[in-house]
Structure 1
Amino acid sequence: MRKQTTIQAGISTFVYASPFKTADFHLLPKIKSAGYDIVEVAVEQAGLIDWDLLVSMTADLDLDITLSGAFGPRRDISSDNAAFRKEGLDYILACIRLAEKTGSPLFGGPLYSAVGKTRIVLAEQKQQERAWCLENLRIAATAAADHGILLGVEPLNRFETDMINTVDQALALIAEAGHPSLRLSLDTFHANIEEKDIPAAIRKAGNLLLHVQANESDRGTPGTGHLPWPAIREALDEIGYRGAVVLETFGEPSEELARAACIWRPLAGSTDEMATEGAAFYKRMFT
């Protein structure tokens, strides 16, 4: 008999809307009725969201909130453009404050760079970009600690970043930054491309694993692809993981998001079908 865990099921607003805004709050009861415990708000444009109303509505629905980031070129803390580095850090700091406001224990994503930044560059440039990244991560981590928030560094696949693709690389960056508020966020879709053994990567992450976006091999409905879900569950059990499993895929992506994530076709029969079947799968698999 496997060890029982307490894992909440969540769904990203990316599944329904991009960018998520106050006019989309009618989706919150639907998310609850689909079987989710958490709504993960992707903070694309914070000014489009009435955060006080969001907190009130989710409380009434008994939905928890987690926050994830959206990192375009102007939010790149490793950019060779100083203005973009500042904009990226300011964005992370603002999201930390929003995490505290909404009760999210974390803010996660590819904090280190811009999605879609994939190049071959000289070693000296890579070293400089890493130095800028580390400088800003340490500032962000210090701020996160002040607000009682943890930051989740998420590896992305090789088609979306040239900086952090694997758990090993993320753990090395976290170790070099040297701040206890920096942890690992794992997306199983990216891990399916980059990791030789996803359960082994989970075990290696151990207690640094903060957050799991439990996405299928094709970003479609969880449980319909070829990921080794029972082995993933077993690895999470072994490390005593008590975080969330969150569906983060893209039901109706914006043109910019579709390009960044390379979404060129529908990933399920419908968004509602993906959401309800995903929640049912998480409940069967993880609770």
Structure 2
Amino acid sequence: MENGHDPVRQLRYLPAIGASYGVEVLDFRALRSMDTRRRRVRPQRPDFHVLALISSGTGAHEADFRSYRLAEGSAVWIRPGMVHRWSDVEACEGPLILFRTGFLTGFSAAEAAVAACWQLDRQRLDLALLAAEHLAREHDAAVRSPRLASPALLSHLLAALILRALPATAEPAEAPRADARSTEVFRAYRAAVEEHFTDRHHVGEYAQALGYDVRTLTRATRAAAGIAAKAFLDQRILLEAKRLLAHTDLPVGSCARRLGFRDTGNFTTFFRRQTEMPPTTWRTEYGAPASRDH
């Protein structure tokens, strides 16, 4: 998967021996120690979540075509499928929490509106670091003494940490607060989009498959994510299109087919409508060399 940029490394969740509880607690010091070849600075795409807190130091991070400066109080949440790289974390300290999709249960839809990186004030950072330390201690106890292991406890501590670390603006101010029913509907829609966005491009298809009408999906998505169901779906397709264009040497026509478009023309129309430029132009402006577009 090369086009002049570094190839994207696919990362699978592989916990340390004895630590297979669906969550693992590391820190930046351990990351640097394990990664002597500095693969962290090259693009990678994990199939798990990474939550990081910067307790001290400065650095840089990139996630899905956006660059972020890291400093004391920075929080980073890398979701499964994101293409990211730790551009510079040589001076960063703080915890790194890795966890599988599905390990965090019963969580609200607020995380859908959270950026890949945000800033915590000193008080919120201190409380988040305490929550991370509690999770780390319980995880260490589970590894050292399996009879004390409690995945349910670890899941609750992870949820507490994320709730403590979420920015105050996790839910859009202009969007109505999602009730339990809307949250349930949105979570089902979001999961279905993630599974089928390459072959279902119409909200009506998801509504039929999930047993809701389109208006219900739209209300739930707007309440949880601040945008309509169609816009949410289009954004997911567009993000994957950008990933393919930036991190592979696939011709535009092949990208179109991978994303479920009938032909290159339809894909180009969609991409232009979303970005105001054709995919070949976006690929060039991003910095990748011209591909074999045929």
Do they superpose with TM above 0.5?
no
Larger CA Rg, structure 1 vs 2: 2
Higher relative contact order structure (alpha carbons within 8 Å, sequence separation ≥ 6): 1
> How high is the TM-score relative to the length of structure 1?
0.31
TM-score w.r.t. length of structure 2: 0.31
